[in-house]
A and B are shown apart, each in its own frame.
Chain A
Amino acid sequence: MHRSLIIPIFAISLALIGSAFTIDKVSSERTELRQKEGIGVVMPSAVARIAALEFKGILADVIFSKAMTYYGGKIIRQEKLIDEEWNWIYRNMDVATDLDPYFLDPYYFGAMTLAWDANKVKESNILLEKAFKYRYWDWTIPFYLGFNHFFFLQDNEKAAYYLMEGTKRPGGSGGLLPTLAARLSYQGKRTENAIVFLQEILNKTEDENIRWIYERRLNALKGILFLERAAEIYQNRLKKPPAKLDELIAKGIIQEIPQDPYGGKFYIDKDGSIKTTSELR
């Protein structure tokens, strides 16, 4: 071999080994760094609108999918999101829908997770109100708004208003919307109404990742309804409300207390209503 070749070949092989070794280290360092980075700052809408030039739609897609991926990663690792992270998700959805105010996915994802997982009904409603304004043809938006008002805010009047607005939109007059709006004007039967509502939402949901959120809630509500009916029977039979759920079993009204899918335990509150220690969270 020519002598002048020896040094370059030696250098190249050394560097190859070195680079193979270091890239491994770099990737593990990067993973650690990115985990510490966690959530980043959110670009303000005004800046994003200017910086995106003509690619506002794409920037909206990117911001949305980044937040969704972050949420997904947390769910897969079975970690709970902290308040700060939820605020970050909300702001991202807000910016994404400022860039493209007709884009359904950030409204949908943001409103669902914020209301159901984060207990941030106010933020969820702000997003949905924006969607209500821009997606003027879409009856599902007032439907979700109505649900939020009925279920989380317990404001039946407003919920009925949104549902009626939904029936005015194409495609909204069929299905359960008009019936639901009518049912809401009756007080009471909260749990039953919620189950009907949720069943309708589930029928409209194809995404498996979203479905399980609803299915879990639906199962919990079915458990509550089951216990409520049992308590009613107890009341009719013994002319006094049960103090504990165990009394329902003792009197032979039910065989066993259903399990709370959220991992809590059902109990009877002082006012006689059925609650759970998990608070459905």
Chain B
Amino acid sequence: MNAVWSVALITFKEGIKNRVIFGIFIIALLLFAATTTVTTLFMRDIVKVAVDLSLSTVSFAGLLTLLFIGVNLFGKDLDKRTIYMVISRPISRSEYLIGKFIGIVLLALSVVVFLGLLSIVPVIMSKRFYYYTEAKFDWWIYFIAVIYIFIKLAVVSSIITLFASFTSNSFIALVLSLVAYIIGQSTESVRELLVSQVEKIEVSPILSYMVEIAYYVFPNISAFDLKTQAAHGLSINPSYIIWTALYAVFYMTIALAIGTLAFRRREFP
């Protein structure tokens, strides 16, 4: 366990030191600043627009961090051949991989905590500016949504870990993770569309079968998206929170387990 923790800490420190993270923070700060101006263009649901923009900024910055820094943290050891130094030490390959995963999750956590707290500012400012009497807003739900952004990023981290465990190149891992994220984000809507049949499209059974497979293979990332609920202060069932959290834990376990199996059998160049 000690070994896992030290790999995690090293990975985290390496990630925080990365210059890209400053760029991401600057983008996030600019977006927060833009929020206050953009909201003035709307009529009544101003707080909703502010919450939309703030939460999306937190989520977007987290994703950028994972895709641009997280993926590279895996690749670096292989590219610079420092992996030999690590695997010659008394640490198993599974411990190394899980340590890397935890390091990336810590990175995502620090981004979400920092930006999540910062995102309060534009929301408060827009609330001061104008708060429509029939609008609903609840800070509790807002923070639940922020926590769910972190859960989503943790799931994405596990996918990155999985892909990094067997790809030879960090760019391929990046592309695969991005594709997995996009599929995971949209399978639910695609599935709904096929089931509802409102648009009256002829759907071949093979396609709906493939969509069904994709729904179960890729994580349903849209389940962790509570931005609409936060924006309108809509209450969330406790059962929703329990089941989605459990789903995330199980999915991460599967991804990490497959990842470690692949990583153990891997041969380094």
Contact = CB atoms under 8 A, between A and B. Distances in A.
Interface residues of B, number: 32
Contacts of A108: 43-44
B228 A100 contact: yes
Given A102-B228, A104-B135, A53 B185 contact: yes
A109 to B, nearest CB: 6
B45 A104 contact: yes
Given A61-B42, A102-B234, A137 B134 contact: yes
A98 B46 CA distance: 18
B52 A105 contact: no
B53 interface: yes
Given A54-B185, A54-B221, A105 B228 contact: no
Interface in A51-84: 53-58, 61, 64-65, 68
B53 to A, nearest CB: 7
A103 B225 CA distance: 17
Contacts of A137: 134, 136
A272 interface: no
11 contacts: A46-B198, A49-B193, A53-B186, A54-B56, A57-B52, A57-B231, A58-B52, A100-B231, A102-B231, A104-B44, A104-B48
Contacts of A64: 42
A50 B186 contact: yes
A61 B228 contact: no
Contacts of B190: 50
Contacts of B43: 68, 104-105, 108-109, 207, 210
A202 to B, nearest CB: 15
A263 interface: no
B42 A105 contact: yes
Interface in B71-87: none
A138 B132 CA distance: 11
Contact of B132 (A53, A104, A139, A210): A104
Nearest to B43: A105
A264 interface: no
A44 interface: yes
A92 interface: no
A140 interface: yes
A105 B44 contact: yes
B266 to A, nearest CB: 32
Contacts of A103: 45, 48
Contacts of A252: none
**Chain B interface secondary structure, helix, strand, loop or mixed?**
helix
Contacts, number: 76
Name the 8 nearest CB pairs between A and B, nearest first: A57-B52, A102-B232, A104-B45, A53-B185, A138-B134, A50-B189, A49-B189, A54-B225
Interface string A97-126: 000101111001100000000000000000
**Chain A interface secondary structure, helix, strand, loop or mixed?**
helix
A107 B56 CA distance: 23
B221 A61 contact: no
B227 interface: yes
Contact of A57 (B136, B186, B227): B227
Interface in B102-147: 132-136
Contacts of A109: 43
Contacts of A65: 41-42
Chain B CB within 10 A, most for which of A54, A104, A140 = A54
A264 B87 CA distance: 88
Contacts of A58: 52-53, 56
Interface in A8-47: 44, 46
B244 to A, nearest CB: 14
A102 B225 CA distance: 15
B222 interface: yes
Given A46-B199, A100-B228, A140-B134, A53 B182 contact: yes
B193 A55 contact: no
A171 B133 contact: yes
Nearest to B63: A54
B151 interface: no
Chain B CB within 10 A, most for which of A57, A64, A105, A171 = A57
A61 B186 contact: no
A50 to B, nearest CB: 5
B59 interface: yes
A278 to B, nearest CB: 27
Contacts of A207: 43-44
Contacts of B222: 54
B49 interface: yes
Contacts of A44: 199
B191 to A, nearest CB: 10
Interface string B188-224: 0110010000110000000000000000000001100
A54 B220 CA distance: 11
Contacts of A53: 182, 185-186
Given A46-B199, A53-B186, A54-B222, A105 B45 contact: yes
A76 to B, nearest CB: 15
